[in-house]
Amino acid sequence: MTLTDQQPLGSPFSAVTTAEDIVAGQDLAGRTAVVTGGYSGLGLETTQALTAVGARVIVPARRPDVARAALQGVRGCEVIPMDLADLDSVRSAAAHISDCLHRLDLLMAVAGVMATPERRVGPGWEGQLTTNHFGHFTLACELYPLLAAAGGARVVVNSSAGHALTGIRWHDPHFRTGYDKWLAYGQAKTANALFTVHLDALGQGDGVRAFAVHPGKIITGLQREMTLQEQIDRGWVDEHGNVIGAGFKPPSQGAATGLWAATSPLLNARGGLYLEDCDVARVSAPDTPMDDGGVRAYAVDPDEAARLWDLSVAATGATPITDTPGQPTRRSAANGRGI
């Protein structure tokens, strides 16, 4: 992947396309997907759309009872416990999935947190980077043999326009010198994008392609750590919590780009790309307002992606995925290390 690949393809879909529009006429019978966060917000829309056209969906959930209640009327899905902030929990969930499946067609990393108060997890890691990136990184490494076995799997990771807030803070990725919840979120979303760049580079020999997605501006449970006043001050909602901000999408439109990434034939033989509004996004200039769309060059830079991959392997203890076709990694190490 190069920056010249980061150009719109002329997709027939747009910012107002819904999840239902994307899957209309598709038949995913016999396909299996793992959708993190697949029981609320964009994840729920994704699960419903995939199962509606025949896919089997496994939903790892930090709150499995809540997830099962939310998905009670959705056929073709099952819930397993998993906490992205706890890598032992991630490995346990991956082992369960590996015991149940012989191949995995789609891994969709929809779950995430945003602008949380300072939290330290594991060996003192910053919570947003851990939940949004390290957890999904570990899950993908553990499930890679299943993805490679599918012969055409796709990995779709939800990033955000928030990546424009900052690149990777190589000098202090865990904010040990002072916490800023928005910079922490921005770094985690940049990490989500860079993760797909290097995963795609390593996986394409096994037919595993990866994409990062900006779903758009949507009010979902992602804002749960923010006060109502914060959301009012940002012009997102009124005093009753009703959405008033310009450019906001309903969840069904927000889920559309991820589903397009997962299923579009326009993306065959492509990967390592950042997508928005059901198309490939352009590279944006450093001073472009965040809401004007596009992706910053640092979030799709292959060298930055390789550096983050090495940092993530060191942190989580994951065995690196080989870039030799036909020889995928089988298992990750048991214990992570601090950085």
Give the contacts of 30 (CB within 8 A, at least 6 positions apart).
Answer: 54
Does the annotation mark 185 as catalytic? Answer: yes
The encoded tokens of residue 35 equal: 């959708």
Q: Which helix (H) or strand (E) holds 276?
A: strand 273-276
In our burial notation (b when 16+ CB lie closer than 10 A, e otherwise), range 31-67 reads bbbbbbbbbbbbbbbbbbbbbbbebbbbbbbbeeeeb
What is the spatial distance between Cα 204 and Cα 271, in angstroms, rounded to a whole number? 8
Question: 39, 144, 179, 185: which one is catalytic?
Answer: 185
Please say whether the dihedral angle defined by the alpha carbons of residues 174, 175, 179 and 183, taken in this order, is positive or negative: negative
DSSP letter assigned to residue 235 = T
SS3 assignment, position 166: coil
Long-range contacts of 91-99 (CB under 8 A, 24+ apart): 91/138, 91/142, 91/332, 91/334, 93/60, 93/139, 94/138, 94/139, 94/142, 94/143, 95/142, 97/34, 97/58, 97/60, 97/143, 97/146, 98/142, 98/143, 98/145, 98/146
Length of the chain: 339
Active site residues: 185
